[in-house]
Structure 1
Amino acid sequence: MEENGRNKALKAKKNDNFSDWYTEVLITSEFVDYSAVSGVIVFRPDGYFVWDAIRNATNELFIKAGIQNAYFPLFIPEKFLEKEKEHVKGFTPEVAWVTHAGDSKLDERLAVRPTSETIMYDSYSKWIRSWRDLPLRLNQWNNVVRWEFKHPTPFLRSREFLWNEGHTAFATQAEADAERDVILGIYEKVLEEYLALPGIKGRKTNYEKFAGALRSYSIEHLMPDGKAIQGPDFHSDGQNFSKAFEIKFLDKRGKMEYVYQNTFAISTRELGVLVATHSDDKGLIIPPKLARIQVVIVPIYKTENRDSIIDYCKKIKKELEDSFRVFLDDSDAYSPGWKFNEWELKGVPVRIEIGEKETKLDEATLFRRDTLAKSKAKASQIKASVESIMKDIHSNLYKKALNFLSAHIYHVDTYEELKKMAGKGFVQAPFCESEECELKIKDETGMKTSNIPFSANPPQGIKGKKCVYCGKEATVIVNFAKSY
């Protein structure tokens, strides 16, 4: 695709070289761009719009659930990070430090926020005094920095990313535990209804849990290359942080108690999963609810009929713009064919083509990005036709992703079977939850435990199963996978 010196066709193929294809589609489509700092990306308007839509949808559900937004500082004193030993151990290798202000050395190093538990809980210890102050359920939308030394990949392994941080405090463990299904349900709803992405809910193993948590839960995705990647998560922190930060309250009996806490997040990593899952060799495919431009109208004209066709396009645009985000591409700089390829590259869900034939028949030609199929619609029915196509695109994207996930979940009982399936998807196997077995499997196969899926672990347990590695009695069914 080259016109006026601009060549924007993708060179890499998704099925041949997924890694090259992934970064090429992000950059060439102008979804993101690289910055001058390694591992830190620029969100261009189309990419940032997607995150904005995800944030707004999630935030609306948080507010309905009784969670309030706040904002806490970007800089965290070193002494705060050191208060919870397991927590600081988990994050110290990734922390970026501020040591100077101008030419003056600071008295104490300040961490650039890798996560906000420590800075927030200093405030919580001042605000919570009585059972009347509970529950305290706050969330903030912010950026964090984790200076990972692995190969950075846009969205999937970025040194700076955007997310929500939910931090809640309760009087009892039972109240705190009840929040888990609410939050995971919110994330699952947003993933399905906005991103058209399925996932597997479950508990993380002790080795893979969040630093400082009692238990961690996640929704795990499967990428097109057969690797797993963690999506939104929820952490039951118990009283680990409240004891470290002296977050205490006077209960109804007049006794001092430590609060029980949870943390949870969804991040811009989801944009990478979305692009990787839905897009193809022509470029991005964006679910309709998340597309900055949902409908693009491309007129096809000659000099002598330009004005009449443009007027007709404007009439169609006016009919649609109250319901959809519509753009009329009436530029004379590029040919219709070039424009078709450009908007396909950018992933616009619906393209409307209008030429002399359409104006005479009082209709429009509709093109849908997901299947590349065309159809006709009368001008009087254009809004209903576009709405129907939008719904079908979303449904089709979700079903396709769900079918891929379902087809790449494998069930094994022996270690030999497990090794053969490495890198092909989620491999479900009985497991004893021993950290020793977990590390040996990781070392020998390159597979980590993804999570312990709720769907594969009935309440009555898995009696009679033997650990896939050591042969001892298994306690759970675990998803193993190579991962990002």
Structure 2
Amino acid sequence: MAKNLTTRTEDYSKWYNELVIKADLAENSGVRGCMVIKPYGFAIWERMQAELDRMFKETGHQNAYFPLFIPKSYFSKEASHVDGFAKECAVVTHYRLRNAEDGSGIEVDPDAKLEEELIVRPTSETIIWDTYRKWIQSYRDLPLLINQWANVVRWEMRTRLFLRTAEFLWQEGHTAHATEAEAIEEAEQMMNIYAEFAENYMAIPVIKGTKTESERFAGALETYCIEALMQDGKALQAGTSHFLGQNFAKAFDVKFATKEGNQEYVWATSWGVSTRLMGALVMTHSDDNGLVLPPNLAPDQVVIVPIYRNDEQFEMVSEVANGLMKELRAKGLRVKFDNRDTQKPGWKFNEYELKGVPVRIAIGPKDVENGTVEVARRDTLTKELIENSKVVAYISDLMDEIQKNLYKKATDHRAAHTSSVSTYAEFKEVLEIKGGFILAHWDGTAETEEQIKNQTKATIRCIPLDTDNVAGSCMVTGKPSARKVLFAKAY
């Protein structure tokens, strides 16, 4: 199974595209701009879903499902929202097909035009807030904490598997609260949950912050985000949480009776992460040999490969392998015993290295005789002979060690590619030569932000929440600046 991957230094973008396809994560579909997520890729996404879903439910959220189609009139109710999504909307105009009279095939029936066009869901604020008007009457109905696992469509001309496709999978949370403070607390809580998931499960260090006004979600008063740095020095927005104020409540007339009997508009949030996280996972940890998956999200944490020459050896090796598999599974590990006779061990080793399985165990006749197994780590590409009596404890500990090692490696990479600059000339030089995250003072104006973006292609990724608020002067205009913000080129 020859990998023949383009190296990261040769062409990072090509390496990524090849790896996603060769590792069986996804492929382009017959529908332009859309992807097919293959079973192995979907298994990783399912692991992500399971952990996030647990975290949401532990904080009081419930899952629901809302329509894929949204009446066009709903979008016109919140002006900034429609402005933000208008250019990305797919629109359903007819409801029937017919055979063409000239026999040329199927055509849209012109007599089947919808009275009102339907927008294919780019995000669900409008349809959900129209529904919430019926669900919320009193303070007793609040807070309303709802999440939806769904697909959305945002028309894209230039696509890349997982990172930017016309249709993608995600979750979107939509909550309603009695007070402004509760809604802000919710938005911050969800940002923290996303950060915890990224760091503890994906082994990706992130920077928490708020977006500038021009980068906020359409219709939001504040957007909280987590930003991650990829190996090529580009940033990737890994999750967002929005404080929506009362904009959608007013647009859809969602009021509640307070304890005092007054009628007030509710306060809202929305928040989401998508299959874009799959792209982040690939680009943060993987190498020129293939995927590198953190144990917490790997569909198979351990794979056992038998080595034998005849049926007798196979029976002997399989007995040990099956026993080991049962012991490891009893410890809660996800283990696969690859006893296929259609591929040789070397081919299998190559396959699991490409697919990023954290630990590979090889067992041959000599191992059985010696009471040992060969354990190979994907993160370091090292091997070690371990005694059978110690292997279960060793591998249990190894899962935690690999998870921590991947996080440390990513954190060290980010630290080495984070710079702090004072002048615009220095900013441009660092961006060109080193890339990565750059902390610099900005005067807070949209004009300066746009100038920097146009001249350098770098954007303000966030206003970090956990850095010192040291005042200074804007690197471009020299005007006062309350703190440094985080710049980078981004996906």
Instruction: Using structure 1 for the length normalisation, give the TM-score.
Output: 0.95
Unaligned runs of at least 5 residues, structure 2: 97-108
- The C-alpha deviation readout for 1:55-95, integer Å capped at 9, x for no partner, is 11111111111111111000000000111010000001001
Question: What is the distance in 2 between the residues matched to 1:282 and 1:359?
Answer: 30
Question: What is the distance in 1 between the residues matched to 2:62 and 2:349?
Answer: 44
1:124 counterpart = 2:132: yes
1:382 counterpart = 2:391: yes
- Is the CA contact (8 Å cut-off) linking 1:299 and 1:353 kept in structure 2? yes
- The C-alpha deviation readout for 1:311-350, integer Å capped at 9, x for no partner, is 2222222222333222222222222111111111111111
- Is the CA contact (8 Å cut-off) linking 1:201 and 1:218 kept in structure 2? yes
Question: What is the distance in 2 between the residues matched to 1:65 and 1:334?
Answer: 47
Deviation at 1:256, TM superposition (A): 1.5
Higher mean alpha-carbon deviation, 18-27 vs 46-55, is at 46-55
- Is the CA contact (8 Å cut-off) linking 2:362 and 2:373 kept in structure 1? yes
Partner residue, 1:222: 229
Partner residue, 1:202: 209
1:10 counterpart = 2:4: yes
Deviation at 1:381, TM superposition (A): 2.1
Matched letter for residue 313 of structure 1: A
Q: 1:353 aligns with which of 362, 385, 389?
A: 362
Unaligned runs of at least 5 residues, structure 1: 2-7
1:57 counterpart = 2:51: yes
Q: 2:200 aligns with which of 179, 193, 203?
A: 193
Partner residue, 1:4: none
Matches within 5 A, 1:102-113: 102=96, 103=109, 104-113=112-121
Matched letter for residue 474 of structure 2: C
Matches within 5 A, 1:68-467: 68-102=62-96, 103=109, 104-149=112-157, 151-303=158-310, 305-322=313-330, 323-422=332-431, 424-458=435-469, 462-463=470-471, 465-467=472-474
Instruction: Using structure 2 for the length normalisation, give the TM-score.
Output: 0.94
Matched letter for residue 403 of structure 1: D
- Is the CA contact (8 Å cut-off) linking 1:299 and 1:336 kept in structure 2? yes
- Is the CA contact (8 Å cut-off) linking 1:32 and 1:41 kept in structure 2? yes
- The C-alpha deviation readout for 1:69-128, integer Å capped at 9, x for no partner, is 111000000000111010000001001111111131111111110000000000111221
SS in 1 for 2:274: coil
Deviation at 1:12, TM superposition (A): 0.3
Question: What is the distance in 1 between the residues matched to 2:487 and 2:275?
Answer: 24
Question: What is the distance in 2 between the residues matched to 1:118 and 1:162?
Answer: 19
Question: What is the distance in 2 between the residues matched to 1:97 and 1:292?
Answer: 37
Matched letter for residue 394 of structure 1: Q
- Is the CA contact (8 Å cut-off) linking 1:297 and 1:313 kept in structure 2? yes
Question: What is the distance in 2 between the residues matched to 1:259 and 1:306?
Answer: 67
SS in 2 for 1:285: coil
- Is the CA contact (8 Å cut-off) linking 2:5 and 2:289 kept in structure 1? no
Deviation at 1:276, TM superposition (A): 0.8
SS in 2 for 1:49: helix
Question: What is the distance in 1 between the residues matched to 2:207 and 2:166?
Answer: 26
Question: What is the distance in 2 between the residues matched to 1:277 and 1:446?
Answer: 22
Deviation at 1:457, TM superposition (A): 4.4
Deviation at 1:209, TM superposition (A): 0.5
Question: What is the distance in 1 between the residues matched to 2:31 and 2:483?
Answer: 43
Higher mean alpha-carbon deviation, 280-289 vs 179-188, is at 179-188
Matched letter for residue 422 of structure 1: L
SS in 2 for 1:395: helix
Partner residue, 1:469: 476
- The C-alpha deviation readout for 1:179-221, integer Å capped at 9, x for no partner, is 2332122111111121111111001000100000001110001
Higher mean alpha-carbon deviation, 52-61 vs 437-446, is at 52-61
Deviation at 1:374, TM superposition (A): 0.8
Higher mean alpha-carbon deviation, 69-78 vs 376-385, is at 376-385
- Is the CA contact (8 Å cut-off) linking 2:187 and 2:270 kept in structure 1? no
- Is the CA contact (8 Å cut-off) linking 1:220 and 1:228 kept in structure 2? yes
Matched letter for residue 412 of structure 2: N
SS in 2 for 1:291: coil
- Is the CA contact (8 Å cut-off) linking 2:292 and 2:379 kept in structure 1? yes
- Is the CA contact (8 Å cut-off) linking 2:211 and 2:222 kept in structure 1? yes
Question: What is the distance in 1 between the residues matched to 2:246 and 2:259?
Answer: 19
- Is the CA contact (8 Å cut-off) linking 1:169 and 1:261 kept in structure 2? yes
Aligned length: 473
Matched letter for residue 418 of structure 1: F
Deviation at 1:356, TM superposition (A): 1.6
- Is the CA contact (8 Å cut-off) linking 2:145 and 2:175 kept in structure 1? yes
Deviation at 1:307, TM superposition (A): 2.5
- Is the CA contact (8 Å cut-off) linking 1:10 and 1:28 kept in structure 2? no
Higher mean alpha-carbon deviation, 303-312 vs 290-299, is at 303-312
SS in 2 for 1:297: strand
- Is the CA contact (8 Å cut-off) linking 1:145 and 1:161 kept in structure 2? yes
Matched letter for residue 317 of structure 2: I
1:42 counterpart = 2:49: no
Matched letter for residue 229 of structure 1: L
- Is the CA contact (8 Å cut-off) linking 2:188 and 2:224 kept in structure 1? no
Deviation at 1:38, TM superposition (A): 2.1
SS in 2 for 1:422: helix
